[in-house]
Amino acid sequence: MSLLITSELPPLLQQFHELDIQLLRGLYENRNPLFDSTFIVITDSAAALAFGIPAIFLIHGLIVKNKLQWRNALTIIIAVAIAAIVANIIKFSLDTPRPYEIYPFIEKLSSGGSPSFPSGHTTDAFAFAVAAGLVFSKWYILLPGLIWATLVGISRMWLGVHYPSDVIAGAILGSACALLYFWLDKKYRARAQQNL
């Protein structure tokens, strides 16, 4: 039974869901279809960049025996992987339908077959952006990463496969997982350094 059928929701959640779909309708129906292909490229870049870039740096670091490089890459990969796992646990536990499954005015313009909440693409993108920004402590890594991650989130709504709440939850979840794992990893490394 869908959690998003408004007649089955408590009044406060019903109002929240109505706002959610109004925001999505506003974006989706007023979008310029000329940008659809651009947003498809952006949406498809999420997993490829979030896992691909650190994987390349990890492999290169191992080949050239640069311990700092491969450890930093591994930190980013693990942060993204944890965020992706948590997102999927939530997705399949709540099992909320995608907007295009409920609302006939929305056409599915991108991949999206799993449950809707939270957005996995957005989770991956924000986890990568925040983890990379924390690992390298450079604004010129963090800022472009966050802009890209935000565009990934927008693309998921633009292409009709996620609600705004899915995207906001994905951004929070990805960022929180990256922050938590970075903190734990830093604490572990400091303790290991003390024991040397």
**Which residue in 189, 179, 195, 196 sits closest to 68, CA to CA?**
189
* pLDDT tens digits along 137-189: 899 999 999 999 999 999 999 999 999 999 999 999 999 999 999 999 888 87
pLDDT band at 110; cut points 50, 70, 90 = confident
Domain that holds residue 17: 6-194
Across the chain, mean pLDDT equals 89
Does some domain include residue 89? yes
Segment 127-146 shows an average pLDDT of 94
**Are residues 122 and 170 in contact, defined by beta-carbon separation less than 8 angstroms?**
yes
Position 17 scores a pLDDT of 81
Position 9 scores a pLDDT of 63
Given a cut of 90, is residue 59 above it in pLDDT?
A: yes
**Which residue in 78, 64, 47 sits closest to 170, CA to CA?**
47
**Which residue in 46, 127, 146 sits closest to 85, CA to CA?**
127
Share of the chain above pLDDT 70, in %: 94
CA distance 99 to 97: 7
Given a cut of 70, is residue 107 above it in pLDDT?
A: yes
Higher pLDDT, 16 or 166: 166
Q: Which helix (H) or strand (E) holds 186?
A: helix 164-194
Does some domain include residue 19? yes
Position 1 scores a pLDDT of 32
Does some domain include residue 1? no
Among 36-40, 102-106, 177-181, name the one with the lowest average pLDDT.
Answer: 102-106
Residues 6+ apart with CB under 8 A from 113: none
- Omega of the bond leading into 118 within 30 degrees of 0 (cis): yes
Provide the whole-model pTM: 0.89
Question: How many domains does the structure of the chain reveal?
Answer: 1
**Which residue in 154, 97, 98, 103 sits closest to 126, CA to CA?**
154
Does some domain include residue 80? yes
Q: What is the CATH number of the domain that holds 20?
A: 1.20.144.10
